[in-house]
Structure 1
Amino acid sequence: MDTTIIKPNLQFELCVTQMMTSEELQILTLLYQPIIGPQAVSLYITLNTLANKSSSSLFTHHLLLQVLNVGVEELLALRYKLEAVGLIQVYVTEENHHLTYYLKKPMQSKAFFNDGIINVFLNLKVGNSDYQQLKQLFIQDIPKIEGTNISKPFNEVFDTTVLMQSSANLEASPLPQHPDGQRGVKLELAFDQELLFALLKQFGMDEQLLSDKLLDQINKTAFLYKLDEHELARLIFDALDSDGFVNLDTFRKQAKQYFQFLNKGKPIEVVEMPKINQPSPGMDEEKVILSKEKQLLVHLSQNPLDFLRFKQHQKEPVPADRQLVEWLVLDQMMPDGVVNVLVDYVLNISDGRLPKQLVEKIAGEWQRKEIDTTEKAIAQVRATLKAKQKRELEKTMPAAKKVYPKTTRVVRQEQVPDWLKTANQPKQEKKQLSEEDLQKIERMKKLQSQLLNQKG
């Protein structure tokens, strides 16, 4: 079952450990609402109210659609926001496709403002002035009491003499914890941890200096400022204090300064990930392929400079690359999709670089071939990769296998380029596929997948 698909008559079960307190409702309203919006907060409160008011824990999505006055797609988008900020977790069983919504309580204000991700997003959403005002609302003033604290400690009042009579009493059972009981924002790892450790060793640092808590903060910083492993290693090394430990505040400050330096002082922007329609469970394989092709075309149709930023992890292109892309769009009048396919192809075959001569050469070739749509550009890249793969395979073949009888069929097949083959020839080749041909096809598919691979 596709977990993103919900229908009005589909049932779900609500799981809530405790109801919200008035303090948590204030945190939800003033701190979470600016990030996820009032409708997502309304969905969360509705689910909490249903769980509190009803003796049954089973409900249909039709009830939510009617109460919130939204459509299915909008309801799903609101649920995603709650999932993203850690207010809800969704579970599905493979046996009967049973859905369970596990509602989590909002973070306490102190944990919220120390999170490192969600508090930064709140600052970006409302601005630093309003952020500081909201923060002041939740700062608890510690009362100033004169005099000396003479309160007795625990071990001066209680002893263990009686408890020693039964050793079993010495082990107190803690409260049970849910395996996913951690509150707050959950992030996937934004960097290659093994590579980071290897780079730190080059600086003479021991990976054991990085605790799980510190790694979590490093991961959040890497996500916020789009830092790779080399940049992280340098910033971590520069944040070492006199005792050889990583100063987290120094690390965060230097990461922010480094980001602002690279982006010429431009602030971080809060953006929502583009919605990608998932294929429904009932779609056959052919329709799923068409759906993926459609998503690919949409991805490649964006503004070429935005596409280049996407390929560079949202970092601004260098002036030479920007001028090259603008030359393709303005001077050569190539469509955005064609430019993006060309840029993606050159980046993949040139180790992340955009050599000007190579780009101009390919652009000229495509202009002569009248490649003016994204589909034609993708087909041209596939044909080029196929021809290149064929030449590489022929070079690696043993000499004995290269000696073919000089039949007319073989000679004609070698002379005709792939992009000029007629529609009948693939049928003839299909009848004579050997193990070697199948290997060629598999390698070609891998190259195509690498070329057109997109994140997320």
Structure 2
Amino acid sequence: MSTQGVKPNTKFKLYGMQRVTTEELQILILLYQPLIGPVATSFYLTLNTLATRGQGEEYAHHFLLQMLNISMDDLIEFRHKLEAVGLIQVYCHKGDGTLAYSVRKPMQAKEFFNDGIINVFLNLKVGHPEYQQLKRLFAEEVPEIEGENISKPFNEVFDTTILMRSSAMLQASPLPTNQTDKKGVTLELSFDKELLFSLLHQFGMDETMVSQKLLDQINRIAFLYKLDEHELARLIFDALDTDGFVNLELFRKQAKQYFQFLNKGKPVEVVEVPQVNPENLSHTPEQEQLSKEKQLLLVLSQHPLEFLRFKQHQKEPVPADRQLVEWLVVDQQMAAGVVNVLIDYVLNISDGRLPKQLVEKIAGEWQRKEIDTTEKAIAQVKATLKAKHKRELEKTVPAANKVYAKPTRVVRKEQVPDWLKEQGATQEDKKSLSDDDLQKIERMKELQNQLLNKKG
């Protein structure tokens, strides 16, 4: 059963009885609430209280709707937020579709501010001055001790060369942990690990140099700054220290600088991915068309390089195409959706190619027309295709069916007698005259010639 198809009568159970301490409540309100909102915070406290009072008790979702005074769609949305920040985990029984909510404690303040993802989103959400103020509220003051620290370091007390005799000794097993006890936000791998290791191998690096902890940090940075495997490999190689190890702080710094360079100093933005409930999908033609347009806008809103990979069946763009896309985004500062519409249009009219001159020409035209949104770009393409279709249609119309206006000629007219005007009759006019009329005209011509000869 998909969790999207949850109904008010769907049953659920609660696990993980966790009594929230005063410190944890303060962390929840001051650090989590700006990210998930007050209703989701209340949702979490309600689940936690129910789990504390009666663990293993079975409830219906209708109970939560009444307690929180919200709709089913809102409940699903707020639940997803709690899942994303790691406050609950949801399990679905394959047999009867019963859900199980595992309620988890908030991270400690130190863990929260060192997470690398959730703290960054909090900074973006509330603003840097307010973030620093929140950080000061949870800063632990370490008392200053007078005097010189004369404590012995590890390598002055133990002989580390003995530890290196057997590589098996280096594989020290940590304490067994339950996966559900892991705190912090969970991220799916946002890049192809095999491709990354292959690229690192080209730089002379071995995959054993990348520990799981380092890989987790790389994944977080790749997610934040939307870095692909080629960009990650280059940044990792540039962050190597003299001993051949990756300097994580240097890697973070360079990744941030690279992102700001591509985006002209613009910061990372916090966006919520729209959640679609299949139960509420419309079936009327108008609503289905609206849904398709929303899906189109969602596809066009991704990073232009990701969109180009999508158009090329996930194949890596060639350097010339990458440079052209970077020129549109960085130098021309065009919005991602506008760039994607331009790319899609040029690929369709150029047989899958991206001619540089054509792309630059269209980009310049759109800049002059102030096309700065995805909707405007789509409307411009539709108008261009409509005009092109009209021109092609006009070419197919037979010339005989076209009506052209005859050009008017200015002819100088001489003053002649009225009867002489009949000489100017056209051949068409003659065809309409009778034989008697034509004979009269001929006699008049003869009379005119006789008069002229006598004068001569």
TM-score normalised by the chain length of structure 2 = 0.63
For 1:205-234, what per-residue CA distance to the aligned partner results, in whole angstroms no more than 9, with x for missing partners?
111111101110100100100111111111
Question: Alignment partner of 1:180: what SS?
Answer: helix
What's the counterpart of residue 106 of structure 2?
Answer: 106
Question: Alignment partner of 1:102: what SS?
Answer: strand
Shifted more, 270-279 versus 137-146: the winner is 137-146
CA contact (8 A) 2:18 2:103 kept: no
Give, in whole Å, the separation in 2 of the partners of 1:236 and 1:150: 36
For 1:169-221, what per-residue CA distance to the aligned partner results, in whole angstroms no more than 9, with x for missing partners?
xxxxx997433321111111111111111111111111111110111010010
CA contact (8 A) 2:36 2:81 kept: yes
Structure 1 residue 244: Cα displacement = 1.0
Report the AA paired with residue 235 of structure 2: L
Question: Given the superposition, is the C-alpha separation of residues 41 and 325 from structure 1 closer, same or farther in structure 2, using an over 3 Å criterion?
Answer: closer
Report the AA paired with residue 191 of structure 1: F
What's the counterpart of residue 292 of structure 2?
Answer: 296
Report the AA paired with residue 296 of structure 2: L
CA contact (8 A) 2:34 2:125 kept: yes
What's the counterpart of residue 136 of structure 1?
Answer: 136
CA contact (8 A) 1:191 1:229 kept: yes
Structure 1 residue 320: Cα displacement = 5.2
CA contact (8 A) 1:305 1:322 kept: no
TM-score normalised by the chain length of structure 1 = 0.63
What's the counterpart of residue 16 of structure 2?
Answer: 16
Give, in whole Å, the separation in 2 of the partners of 1:123 and 1:102: 28
What's the counterpart of residue 37 of structure 1?
Answer: 37
Question: Alignment partner of 1:83: what SS?
Answer: helix
Question: Alignment partner of 1:271: what SS?
Answer: coil
Question: Alignment partner of 1:143: what SS?
Answer: coil
Between the aligned residues of both structures, percent identity stands at 51
Question: Given the superposition, is the C-alpha separation of residues 310 and 240 from structure 1 closer, same or farther in structure 2, using an over 3 Å criterion?
Answer: closer
Instruction: Specify which of 345, 349, 352 is matched with residue 350 of structure 1.
Output: 352
Shifted more, 223-232 versus 54-63: the winner is 54-63
What's the counterpart of residue 245 of structure 1?
Answer: 245
Question: Given the superposition, is the C-alpha separation of residues 131 and 216 from structure 1 closer, same or farther in structure 2, using an over 3 Å criterion?
Answer: same
Structure 1 residue 302: Cα displacement = 6.9
What's the counterpart of residue 203 of structure 2?
Answer: 203
Give, in whole Å, the separation in 2 of the partners of 1:176 and 1:322: 48
CA contact (8 A) 1:324 1:356 kept: no
Structure 1 residue 296: Cα displacement = 3.4
Give, in whole Å, the separation in 2 of the partners of 1:294 and 1:29: 38
For 1:362-388, what per-residue CA distance to the aligned partner results, in whole angstroms no more than 9, with x for missing partners?
986665547xxxxxxxxxxxxxxxxxx
Question: Given the superposition, is the C-alpha separation of residues 300 and 325 from structure 1 closer, same or farther in structure 2, using an over 3 Å criterion?
Answer: farther
What's the counterpart of residue 232 of structure 1?
Answer: 232
Give, in whole Å, the separation in 2 of the partners of 1:307 and 1:209: 30
Report the AA paired with residue 97 of structure 1: G
Q: Which runs of 5+ in 1 are unaligned?
A: 152-173, 330-335, 371-456
Question: Alignment partner of 2:12: what SS?
Answer: strand
Structure 1 residue 322: Cα displacement = 11
Question: Alignment partner of 2:181: what SS?
Answer: coil
Give, in whole Å, the separation in 1 of the partners of 2:326 and 2:341: 17
What's the counterpart of residue 95 of structure 1?
Answer: 95
Question: Given the superposition, is the C-alpha separation of residues 350 and 35 from structure 1 closer, same or farther in structure 2, using an over 3 Å criterion?
Answer: same
Question: Given the superposition, is the C-alpha separation of residues 252 and 306 from structure 1 closer, same or farther in structure 2, using an over 3 Å criterion?
Answer: closer
Q: Are 2:181 and 1:185 equivalent residues in the alignment?
A: no
For 1:216-270, what per-residue CA distance to the aligned partner results, in whole angstroms no more than 9, with x for missing partners?
0100100100111111111111111111110111100110011111111111110
What's the counterpart of residue 311 of structure 1?
Answer: 307
For 1:27-64, what per-residue CA distance to the aligned partner results, in whole angstroms no more than 9, with x for missing partners?
11111111111111110001011112236521111111
What's the counterpart of residue 272 of structure 1?
Answer: 272
Report the AA paired with residue 13 of structure 1: K
Question: Given the superposition, is the C-alpha separation of residues 305 and 192 from structure 1 closer, same or farther in structure 2, using an over 3 Å criterion?
Answer: closer
What's the counterpart of residue 439 of structure 1?
Answer: none
Report the AA paired with residue 54 of structure 1: G
Question: Alignment partner of 1:12: what SS?
Answer: strand
What's the counterpart of residue 51 of structure 2?
Answer: 51
Aligned residues: 333
Structure 1 residue 110: Cα displacement = 1.3
CA contact (8 A) 2:35 2:125 kept: yes
Give, in whole Å, the separation in 2 of the partners of 1:147 and 1:355: 67
CA contact (8 A) 2:17 2:52 kept: no
Question: Given the superposition, is the C-alpha separation of residues 349 and 72 from structure 1 closer, same or farther in structure 2, using an over 3 Å criterion?
Answer: farther
Structure 1 residue 349: Cα displacement = 6.2
Question: Given the superposition, is the C-alpha separation of residues 224 and 69 from structure 1 closer, same or farther in structure 2, using an over 3 Å criterion?
Answer: same
Give, in whole Å, the separation in 1 of the partners of 2:284 and 2:103: 33
Question: Alignment partner of 1:89: what SS?
Answer: strand
Q: Which runs of 5+ in 2 are unaligned?
A: 152-173, 310-321, 363-380, 391-456
Report the AA paired with residue 192 of structure 2: D
Give, in whole Å, the separation in 1 of the partners of 2:229 and 2:119: 24
Give, in whole Å, the separation in 1 of the partners of 2:349 and 2:108: 46
